[in-house]
């Protein structure tokens, strides 16, 4: 489904972007309409593109069925596919109401390096990823519990050690 640039002008991310750049962008992205309940991305499916939500609302569901958050117009979902085309979806995303998305494929950035709409998408992505890292760091700090000394219990079998917080912090910070 082709996308008209006027569908993008309503999003804050594209404020100030020249119409010519939005028009050029629309030659490389396409629209996708989702009915309420329809799945956009299935967990563990190959990740080949990302979607910019234009209207409606999406929800994110993890493997155990727990819905962990909503996505609103202007938000980008599935962005990992823009960096790793061999990856897989780490959550299921579905439409809570009839929704419309702009599908973005990884090659967009190489094809339109000087397009201001693409610059806007990249800046939007930076902010989104930074927010997620900060949120994870904040949760990590809340759960930080220094190891308490335990009294020895002769005869008790040794319990398997749980994942160390230090190891998790290392990985959160991208160095594990």
Partner 1 sequence: MNTSLRSASEAILAAYPFAGGTPELVEGLLALCPELVLRDGDVLCRERSHGEEMYILLDGRVDVTKLDQRGATHLLTSLVAPDLIGQLALIDHAIRSATVVASGPAVVRVLDRRTYTRLCHSPTDEGATLRRLLLAALHQQLSRAHAAATRKPLPPRAGLVEIGETDLIEDEDTQDIEVALATGE
Among 20, 45, 62, 97, binds partner 1 (CB under 8 A): 62
Query: DSSP letter at 162?
Result: P
Distances (CA, A) of 129 to 26, 31, 39, 79, 133: 24, 24, 23, 9, 6
Q: Is 174 in the site for partner 1 (CB under 8 A)?
A: yes
Angstrom distance (rounded) from CA 59 to CA 61: 7
Taking the least distance from each CB to partner 1, the nearer of 31 and 73 is 73
For 127, counting Cβ atoms within 10 Å of its Cβ (0-12 exposed, 13-18 middle, 19+ buried), the class is exposed
With binding defined as CB under 8 A, does residue 110 bind partner 1?
Answer: yes
74 binds partner 1 (CB under 8 A): no
The answer to whether the CB of 7 falls within 8 A of the CB of 100 is yes
Least Å distance, CB 120 to partner 1, is 9
Q: Is residue 123 involved in binding partner 1 (CB under 8 A)?
A: yes
Least Å distance, CB 1 to partner 1, is 25
Candidate segments 5-13, 31-39, 50-58, 118-126, binder of partner 1 by CB under 8 A? 118-126
Q: Answer whether 9's CB lies under 8 Å from 108's CB.
A: no
Give me the least distance between CB of 140 and partner 1, in Å please.
6
Q: Retrieve residue 45's tokens.
A: 């499916």
Q: Which residues bind partner 1 (CB under 8 A)?
A: 60, 62, 68-69, 79-80, 82-84, 87, 90-91, 106-107, 109-110, 113-116, 118-119, 122-123, 125-147, 161-176
């Amino acid at each position: 489904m082709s996308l008209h640039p006027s569908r993008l002008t309503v999003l804050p991310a594209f404020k100030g972007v020249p119409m010519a750049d939005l028009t050029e962008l629309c030659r490389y992205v396409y629209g996708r309409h989702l009915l309420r309940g329809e799945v956009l991305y299935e967990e563990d499916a190959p990740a080949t593109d990302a979607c910019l939500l234009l209207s409606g609302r999406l929800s994110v569901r993890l493997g155990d069925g727990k819905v962990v958050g909503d996505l609103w117009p202007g938000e980008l979902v599935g962005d990992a596919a823009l960096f790793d085309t061999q990856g897989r979806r780490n959550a299921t995303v579905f439409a809570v109401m009839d929704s419309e998305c702009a599908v973005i494929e990884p090659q967009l950035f190489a094809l339109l390096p000087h397009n201001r709409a693409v610059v806007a998408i990249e800046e939007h992505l930076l902010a989104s990823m930074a927010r997620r890292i900060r949120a994870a760091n904040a949760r990590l700090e809340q759960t930080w519990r220094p190891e308490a000394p335990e009294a020895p219990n002769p005869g008790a079998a040794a319990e398997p050690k749980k994942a160390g917080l230090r190891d998790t912090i290392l990985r959160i910070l991208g160095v594990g």
